[in-house]
Amino acid sequence: MATEFIDVLPVDELNVNAVKIVDAGGKRILLANDEGDIRAVSAYCTHDGGDLDGEELDDHEVCCHRHGARFDLRSGEATRMPAVFGLVTFETKVEDGRIFVAV
């Protein structure tokens, strides 16, 4: 079965070191422009289920503003308590100025 890529956003709408939540095939995905690399992970903190939208990136990580949990966007791994479970990661590609996410 081939991987389906969903067109989610123009690349110029995602600033460097910024994140944005998008819908990809019915899934809420956190897109991140990680120093020019486009990454996609699940959009909710695994500690309390809160939304990660509006957070800033630091050293390839997103930090949940509620309790300080941190996640590595390259692997999805939880890197700081209170989160112990990582985020789901999704493959991305950029074509013709658009960001696509595999779901």
C-alpha distance across the termini of the chain, in Å: 12
Q: What local confidence, expressed as pLDDT, does residue 3 receive? A: 83
CA–CA distance, 39 with 30 (Å, rounded to integer): 8
Number of H-type helices and E-type strands within the chain: 0, 11
For tokens 């422009």, the residue is 33
Residue type, 53: D
- For the chain, which ranges sit under pLDDT 50? none
Tokens of 42: 């699940």
What's the token pair of residue 57?
Answer: 């990136």
With contact defined as beta carbons under 8 Å apart, do 6 and 100 qualify? yes
In this structure, what token pair is assigned to residue 23? 């819908």
| Domains contained in the chain, CATH given | 5-102 (2.102.10.10)
What's the pLDDT at 1? 61
